[in-house]
Structure 1
Amino acid sequence: MGRILLVEDERHDSASLLLGHLLGAGHEIERIGDGEAALERILGEPPALTLLDVVPPRIDGIRVLEKVRSHCNHPIIMLTGRSHEADRLLALDMGADDYVCKPFSPREVVARIQTVLRRHSQWRDSVARPSTAVRFDDPRGNACLEGQALTLTRRELLLLRALSRDPGRVFTRSKLLEAAFPEAFDVNERAVDGHIKNLRKKLAAAVPSHEWIRSVYGVGFSFAERPA
C-alpha cells in the first residue's frame, strides 16, 4: 500500500476510527493540521494519496487543491463536513478525485481510496514518464534538448537527469542535492540554486521559447514539458 496524508484542523472520533481502518488496509498514516505545511509536503515528498479537509488553517483546502493541481495530478480526496452541493461541485470542478462528507463510513472511505489509487496507477502506466524533450545520447551523458546539444557540467547533468526523469514532479532541494552531490556530505542545500540558475540559462540558450525549469516557492523545482 502507501502513505496516506490526512489534512484536518481538529481531531474527530470518526477520523480516529478511519485511521484504524486505513492501518488495517496496510496504509501508513501521516496527519498534518495546517494547509501550508500540507502543501509543502504534497509537492515536496508526495504521499500515495491525500485526504484533505476544506478548512485547515493558514491555507484552506480548496486553495491547497488549486495549488497542487497547478503542478501535478496528485490523488486528493476531500474529506469534510461541508455537504452543500455547491461545495462538492467546486471541489470536483477544481480537480478533486472524490468528495466525502462527514459523518462517513470508514469502510466506504477505504474503498474510495483504493478506487482512486487504482485509477491513478492505471493513468501512470499509460503515460510516458520521462521527458520527451531531453535525450542523454551516450555513456558520457551528453544531453540534447529538442535536438539542441547542451554543454553541461557534471552537476548540471545530474540535476537535469533527476528533473527530466519525472516531468511535473516538484523536487525539494534536499532531493536534488542527493541527485547532484551523491558523494558529498557537507554541502548546503542552497548550493543547488546556483547550479539550477546556470542550467536554466543553458536550456534557455538552446530552446528559448519555453521555461523548462520552474520554481515552487518554499519547496523546490520542477521540469516543465511543453503543453501537448
Structure 2
Amino acid sequence: MKHQPALRTVVGLAAVVFLMSGCTATATTDTATPIGSAVNGSAPAPAAPAPAPAPAAAESPAALAAPASSTQSSTAFAQPILSPGRERKLTLADADVELVCDGGGKIEVLANGITLTVTGHCQEIDILSSGTTVRAESVNEIDVDGPRNTVTVEKAAGLRAEGSNNTLHADEVGQINLEGQGNQVTFGAGNPRINDEGSGNSISVK
C-alpha cells in the first residue's frame, strides 16, 4: 500500500499531459484557414481588367468638307424652247432665267427682281414686274408695264412703256410708244416712229 500515492501521482501527471495535448490540437485547427480565402469552396477568380478604350476613328477628308450640291446653290433655271404659239410665265422672284425663242412665243415676267436673258426671235415680251433686268436679241414687241425695270434689246419692231422710271434701250427699233412717266429711252440705228403720251419721258439716240 506504500506505492499507492506514487501511482496517483503518475495518473495525475498523465491526465495533465493529455489535457495539454487536446488544447494544442484545437488551436491548430482554428488557424488552418488562411485570412482572406473563402470558407466554402475555392476563392473567386479575380475580375478581368477593363479593356482599353478603342482609339477614335479618324475623320475622312470627304466627311470634313463635303461639296455643296449644285441644285441648292444655283438660282439659274433652264427653260424649254419657245416656238410660235407657246407662252412662258415667270413667277419666281429674284431668279436668273435663260430662254430661247424659236421664231415666236410669248414671255410674261410677273415676279420682281428677275434677270432674264432671251436668245432668238420672240413674238412678245411683257414685263409686269419691277426691278427686272431683260436682255433680248430680237422681238416683235416689248411691253413694259411695271416700274424701275431695265431693258436692252438688239432689235425690236415695237417698244412700249406704260410703267414709270424705266430704262430702255434698243439698238434698232421701228416704233416707240410711251404712256408712263419718267422713262429713259435710247435707241441706235433706225428712224423710229415716236408717240409720247406720258410725262417726263426722255427719248434720245445713243
Q: Report the TM-score range of the alignment, normalised by the length of the smaller protein.
A: under 0.3
Greater gyration radius: 2
Relative to total residues, which structure has the larger strand share, 1 or 2?
A: 2
With normalisation by structure 1, the TM-score equals 0.20
Higher RCO structure, 1 or 2 (CA under 8 Å, sep 6+): 1
